[in-house]
Amino acid sequence: MVKQKPAIPKGTRDFIPSEMANRNYIFDTIKKYFKLYGFNAIETPAMENLSTLMGKYGEEGDKLLFKILNSGDFLSKVRPEQLQELNSAKLTNKISEKGLRYDLTVPFARFVVQHRNDLTFPFKRYQIQPVWRADRPQKGRYREFYQCDADMIGSESLLNEVDLVQLTDDIFTDFNIAVSIKLNNRKILSGIAELVGELDKIIDITVAIDKLDKIGAEGVNKEMAAKGVSEKAIEQLQPIIHLQGTNHEKLEKLKELLKTSEVGLKGVEEMTTIFSLLKGLEIHNELELDLTLARGLNYYTGTIFEVKAKDVQIGSVTGGGRYDDLTGIFGMPDVSGVGISYGADRIYDVLKELDLFPKLKQDALQVLFVNFGSVEERYCLPLIAALRKKGVNSEIYPESAKMKKQMKYANSLKVPFVVMVGEEEMQNQKLSIKNMETGEQKEMKLEELINHFS
RNA sequence: GUGAUUGUAGCUCAGUAGGUUAGAGCAUCGGAUUGUGGUUCCGAGGGUCGGGGGUUCGAAUCCCCUCAUUCACCCCA
């Protein structure tokens, strides 16, 4: 037999118990706040019909979808000349009709339309599940990762945006991660594009402006020119690229700059409202209107969010925004929603790098019974059952192995107490109990041991 | 998709001006110690040197191809 090297697909990971404890800490914390803000849990399947997923994430996103081969003889419906053509895109349509979900928002939109009769609007849901992207993995980027989404749908109120900012602030404050919460508005971006007469280049412009920190103003201008943005437009964009000051000051200037654009002004108005509402609240993290924030996902139409950890070099840990008509394509038009997605895996990386995981209390094994043989086993089983009934995690070592081996096992599992019941203890109706931390050993009755844990 | 990086034991890595049977630490198993762990000492098992081809008397080491890895860009959580 050929030995096979154990391996898992690129960009995926296993989690050992100690890592799971930390991951659960993240999920539990996020879940706690989701509930606190009135969101209810739902789940959707790992796979969706490709027709549901395709075309929602932009050209790049479509490429990154994991597609599932049809079951059975998937080539039976393909004509030989179609195979000859060697056109992957065309052939894919014939042999694959399902794919792994790319995010939780689009499946959620599908879910809302499909279950509209069972839901009360405005509807608030949270969803913590893995998503898959056929990206090239690198630091903080995985092919399978968990998103923790909170969305509200069926309400245009900007109170929802304010709520999501507060939620985000609460969550990262709890994690003790200093973050910068960046806000922008697609309407403002549209207004800017309209202003300079390059409506179709809006994505190119924002992507270029997004690189301001990295390549400088001159680099940004060069990139825009390379993408075919006219010289005049670039000239007009300069005051926007160099926009500075407080959020309030920026909005005031934008109001002036965008006075000829209806959409633009609407966006400025929305952001002004949001910032003004937030002003009356206690927010612990940095809050910034960031015009360079673009977000590639196609479906955003209003406010967009992004959260970056201040002390760790990693992609954004959270992102989201408002989508005015994501449900329209599934047959339920004019329903606005807004949502946000926390990247559990990146939050994990940040917490780990900053060494911020709390010392978790031991919820694993608390008591191990040493196994001395078949007579002793029989004697111990009811004692263990009694301990378990009292909620004490206990077990007996499954074989009557050497004492040293059993103690070593207890030690590596960090079991706080080891119970020894041999001939002598059975006669005295007592248990020898060793405290593995101090090394102390005492004789006591079962009740005394139980009391120790209550 | 583009550009780099690295591939040697289960894990982390030494070892290259080409030269006998390829090493260490950790982990595992056994013993010192047949009812006492985390310290110590002794010992054992475990390797197609990522794969294929080439150069050479001789390749982990040099050359070519290939696969994988990690990182950056793009994009994103």
Q: Give pLDDT tens digits for A296-340.
A: 667 899 999 999 999 998 889 999 999 998 999 999 999 999 999
Instruction: Provide the CA A1 to C1' B19 distance, Å, integer.
Output: 35
CB of A91 lies under 7 Å from some atom of strand B: no
Predicted TM-score (pTM) of this structure: 0.91
Strand partners, A179: A309
Q: Which residue is nearest to nucleotide B30 (CA to C1')?
A: A405
Those nucleotides of strand B lying less than 7 Å from any protein Cβ are 1-2, 28-31, 33-38, 48, 68-77
How sure is the predictor about A283, in pLDDT bands with cuts at 50, 70 and 90? very high
The tally of CA atoms less than 13 A away on the side-chain side of residue A149 is 28
Measure CA A422 to chain center: 51
Query: Which one, of A342, A341, A334, lies nearest residue A156 by Cα?
Result: A334
Do the Cβ atoms of A251 and A274 come closer than 8 Å?
no
- Residue A446's CB is within 10 A of a number of other CB atoms, namely 17
The residues, ordered by sequence, that sit 6+ positions from A128 with a Cβ below 8 Å of its Cβ are: A27, A30, A31, A41, A146, A147, A148, A149, A344
Around Cβ A342, how many Cβ atoms within 10 Å? 28
Token pair belonging to A135 = 């990206």
> How many angstroms separate the CA atoms of A107 and A93, rounded?
20
Residue nearest to nucleotide B68 (CA to C1'): A10
Query: Quick one: tokens of A311?
Result: 């002390």
What are the tens digits of pLDDT across the range A213-272? Answer: 777 777 788 888 877 788 888 888 888 888 888 999 999 999 999 999 999 999 999 999
A406 CA → B21 C1’, Å: 39
Q: pLDDT at residue A363 above 80?
A: no
Burial code (b: 16+ CB inside 10 Å, e: under 16) for A67-82 equals: bbeeeeeeeeeeeeeb
**Is nucleic acid strand B under 7 Å from A399's C-beta?**
no
Taking the CB of residue A385, how many other CB atoms lie within 10 A of it?
Answer: 10
Looking at the DSSP assignment, which residues form a beta bridge with residue A441?
A: A434
Residue A290, pLDDT above cutoff 70 = yes
The two three-digit tokens of residue A163, written as one number = 């709520």
Q: Using the CB atom, is residue A211 less than 7 Å from strand B?
A: yes
Bridging pattern class, strands A367-369 and A441-444: unpaired
Sorting pLDDT into bands at 50, 70 and 90, what band is A93? confident
Q: How far apart are CA A188 and CA A240, in angstroms?
A: 11
Cα–Cα distance between A435 and A215 in angstroms, integer?
61
**Structural domains of chain A, with CATH:** 17-65+102-353 (3.30.930.10), 367-453 (3.40.50.800)
CB A77 within 7 Å, strand B: no
Sheet holding A67-69, edge to edge: A47-49, A96-100, A67-69
**pLDDT (0 to 100) of residue A223:** 80
Q: Are A149 and A340 in contact (CB under 8 A)?
A: yes
Q: Identify the weakest region by mean pLDDT among A114-123, A188-197, A352-361.
A: A352-361
Please report which confidence band the pLDDT of residue A3 belongs to, taking 50, 70 and 90 as the band edges. Answer: low
Query: Are A368 and A413 in contact, with CB atoms under 8 Å apart?
Result: yes
Whether A1 shows a pLDDT value over 70: the answer reads no
Question: Is residue A454 within 8 Å of residue A387, measured between CB atoms?
Answer: no
pLDDT per residue as tens digits for the range A151-194:
999 999 999 999 999 999 999 999 999 999 999 999 998 898 88
How far is C-alpha A414 from the geometric centre of its chain's CA atoms?
31
User: In the structure, what pLDDT confidence band is assigned to residue A6 with cuts at 50, 70 and 90?
Assistant: confident
A353 CB closer than 7 A to any strand B atom: no
